[in-house]
Amino acid sequence: MTDTIRHRAAKVFRRNGAGWLLMLPGIILFGFFAWVPLLESIRLSLYNVQGITLQDFAGLSHYVSVFRHPDFVAAVRNTFSYTLWSLVIGFPVPIIMALIISELRRGKSLFKVGIYLPNIVPGMAMVLMFSFIFIPGETGVLNIIRDRLGAEPFGWLTNPKWTIPLIVMALTWKGAGATALLYIAGLQTIDSQLYDAAIIDGAGIGRRIFHVTLPGLYNLMRILLILQVISVFQILYEPLVMTNGGPNNASLSLMQLMFRYAFTDYNYSLASAVSVIICLMLIILTVLYMKMNKEQDA
Amino acid sequence: MKRTLSVLLMIACLTGFLFANGQKDSGAAKGATSIKLGIWPEDTLTGDIEMHKGYVKAFNEIYPDIKVIPAYYKYATDTYVPLAVSGKLPTIYETWFTEPQKIMKNGFARDITAELKELGWDKKMNESVRNLLSSDGKIYGVPRDAYALGLMINADLFKEAGLVDGDGLPLYPKTWDELAKTAVIIKEKTGAAGLCLLAKDNAGGWHFTNIAWGFGANFVVQKGNKWVGQLNSPESAAAFQYVSDLKWKYDVLTPNPTNEDWGTGFRAIGTGSAAMYIAAQDAVNQPTQVNGLPATSLAMAPVPAGPAGQFSLMGGTPYMFSKSATDEEVKAALKYLEIMGKAPVVSETGLAGLEADAKNRADEGIPVIPAFPAWTDKAYLKAQQDAIDAYINVDMRMFDSYYEKVSEESNLRTEEPVETQALYAELTKVLQSVMVDENADIPALLEMAQKNYQRILDDTVNK
């Protein structure tokens, strides 16, 4: 009896052992750097802590404190606003770029490199550059241009209505190129016979885009949309550096609220509570989105 | 065969991976005391490093068996907690004046009451500064400097605008009204901003409390055993109206106050893009050494007076200690401070330390001016003054009015006592609204700020 078990175990090991051993370093690394911290931050959010040493169980009281914080509502509202603006501004731009570049007859590579270049600018440099561009006084780059055109200087980031859209524009400037490359790759997988068929049927360029190209990119768009939502939802350093969440919380994001709890207050329970809240919101959004897609596909 | 080999290789890789970082640092030999100096200057400040090498030499002559290890640590909120929790903080380090209460509350600070008592330094510490560095009657730090806010002035711009007296000294504004008028003249004559006002982060609220005190505002008071915020008082509204006027009526501020913080303010003064800035005497190296203004072009005046009087916000920049430091190590670190001349002890080495510091400041183009007394020991204060006298590199008349005002005990105020950073955050938000909107509804904004701050008070200190 035991012999057969041993025999079987040995067989399983012979078959899969090397594979598991191969994966083990990765699993340990992942566990140590991703999963344990993830679970640990949930635990932190439920305990009173001194520094980061757990003291006693606090239940959901930290979550209540976060909800009661005067800046929480603004942070949630802004975070959704960032996400929506990034869908309005940031989502179509790479698709349009990809369509234009794929239609080019000459200089394709040049433009591919060109749109990707902003992506290799370090994030902080990009943020500082846009801070100069958006200076609200007479010395700002955009205001100098306005001045040449005979217009008054504008407030740019200091205008609460414009703060978030402008930050999203800066984000898009940096990120759109990389996404466009993915779309260009996607475009190449579309069967050229479909275009030929469309042309024979008398479809102009507009109809070709709407009836062949976009449906061909649909699956890719779906994935990139949810990835974009997840990444923009966690926006932190752009508003942190450009506006520090201001003016009067007009650009404060949830991540920045977490950052403040962690690094200006050293209150890691509350910081963890915020990050768990962010995580839950993203899970809900993703599940809803997946469900919607499934219904559509069915 | 091949399979066995690959399995064996895999195991070898794994063990290598697991133990790759297992080497423990051997550390100093047991028994001998060693101190890690987080207060060591950063690599680029070669003059300062030479000075500290001198200190170490003097230190080792007196205490040959204590090993001094340079361990430059620039306090940063993202590195502090991991270092503190893992016991890797240097024995002694410098932090910001905003931090001690937070560090004490989280249990990262080393109680040094016993060591200070043994040296008798606890009684020689300026009382307000001691309170800032204490919690539950225990002392957790010693002051590097005390500071009192004043009005830092770029004297070149004043000269250019013709705002100087017969001796060429800047005619500084004595009241907030005068400041507005002075600022207008500066902007007209030189094109530079009159004042750099901060509204990017909590430093904005911090400076603003000092302005608002002059208008009669008191932001938080204790009623019974409850703390009550008073952000929505008419006095604080008047102060906000005043800064709003600076922006919209007189237009004398830098282009975007909501992007100005402590550091950019010094840059503005140092590079001549603004003529006045609220700052303290312990930061005179910022406009000069850091931003290139000649020491002789810097002046300091008291914070202007408002309708309710003149006040200067004071505090202290602390040295704190690693929680894992032994008594011996703390004592050794305190001795090192003594050699630097930062301790209330008049000794030959201490005097030499003070002199070396003054000489270094003069060499680096930093104004050599009296410190603001963090210690009350008379003999020490006199020694401190004597040590710098020979090195004074500025016309002290440019600083006299500041030192006169801050020596009036009644004008000095410490920060508002509870949930100070939350208070600053609320005030900063209002400031930002006022700075970006000419027609901001100040009373409504203040109502909101009051509600928010009171809620924080009720959730924390009133609980």
Residue of B nearest to A70 (CA): B452
Q: What is the mean pLDDT of residues A245-274?
A: 93
B27 falls in which pLDDT band (50, 70, 90)?
Answer: very low
User: Do B143 and B154 belong together in one domain?
Assistant: no
A50 touches chain B (CB under 8 A): yes
> Any chain B CB within 8 A of the CB of A263?
yes
Nearest to B429 among A17, A248, A266 (CB): A248
Domain identity same for A65 and A37: no
**B451 inside 8 A of chain A by CB:** yes
Q: Which residues of B427-454 are buried (b: 16+ CB within 10 A; e: fewer)?
A: bbbbbbbbbbbeebebeebbebbbebbb
Least confident of B242-246, B280-284, B294-298, B376-380: B376-380
Q: Do A24 and B433 touch (CB under 8 A)?
A: no
**Can you give the CATH number for the domain in which B220 is found?**
3.40.190.10
ipTM surpasses 0.90: no
Please state the rounded mean pLDDT for residues A3-20: 83
* B249: contact with A, CB 8 A cutoff: no
Q: In chain A, which among 68-107 make CB contacts under 8 A with chain B?
A: 68-70
Domain count across chain A: 2
Residues B440 and B299 in one domain: yes
- Does any CB of chain B come closer than 8 Å to the CB of residue A131? yes
Do B290 and B157 reside in the same domain of the chain?
Answer: yes
Out of B78, B84, B435, closest to residue A263 by CB: B78
Nearest chain A Cα distance for residue B435, angstroms: 8
* Per-residue pLDDT tens over the stretch B253-288: 998 899 999 999 999 999 999 999 999 998 999 999
User: Domain containing A253 — which CATH number?
Assistant: 1.10.3720.10
Give me the number of domains chain B comprises: 2
Which chain A residues touch B445 with a CB distance below 8 Å? 248
Q: At what angle do helices B327-340 and B46-62 cross, to 10 degrees?
A: 120
Cα–Cα distance, B212 to B239 (Å, whole number): 5
Q: Are residues A28 and A128 in the same domain?
A: no
Residue B26 has pLDDT above 60, yes or no: no
B77 vs A17, A50, A263: nearest CB: A263
Q: Are residues A48 and A151 in the same domain?
A: no
Q: Does A243 touch chain B (CB under 8 A)?
A: yes
Best CA proximity match to B274, nearest among B168, B194, B200: B194
- Within this chain, do residues A72 and A121 fall inside the same structural domain, yes or no? yes
- Is there a single domain that holds both residue A23 and residue A91? no
Residue B20 lies in a domain: no
Average pLDDT over residues B284-295: 94
What is the extent of the structural domain holding B170?
148-313+410-459
Same domain, B257 and B169: yes
B84, B256, B421 member nearest A135 (Cβ): B256
Same domain, B215 and B130: no
Interchain contact B167–A (C-beta under 8 A)? no
Q: In whole angstroms, give the CA distance from residue B93 to residue B320.
A: 6
The gap from C-alpha A187 to its chain's centroid, in whole angstroms, comes to: 23
* Chain A CB within 8 Å of residue B78 CB: yes
Tens digit of pLDDT for each residue in B132-161?
A: 899 889 999 999 888 999 999 999 999 999
Distances (CA, A) of B41 to B63, B66, B100, B349, B367: 22, 20, 21, 20, 19
Nearest to B106 among A18, A51, A68 (CB): A51
B307-358 pLDDT, tens digit per residue, is 999 999 998 889 999 999 999 999 999 999 999 888 888 888 888 888 888 9
B280 forms beta bridges with B149
- Is B383 a member of any domain? yes
Cα separation, B166 vs B13, in Å, equals 80
Q: Which residue of B has its CA nearest to A242?
A: B259
Q: Which of A19, A35, A57 is the last residue of a domain?
A: A57
Beta-strand pair B67-70/B34-37: parallel
Q: How far is CA B226 from CA B5, B219, B229, B232, B453, in A?
A: 74, 14, 10, 18, 13
Q: Which domain holds residue A22?
A: 2-57
Q: How far is CA A227 from CA A5, A86, A87, A233, in A?
A: 46, 12, 11, 10
Q: Does B458 lie at the interface with A, CB-CB under 8 angstroms?
A: no
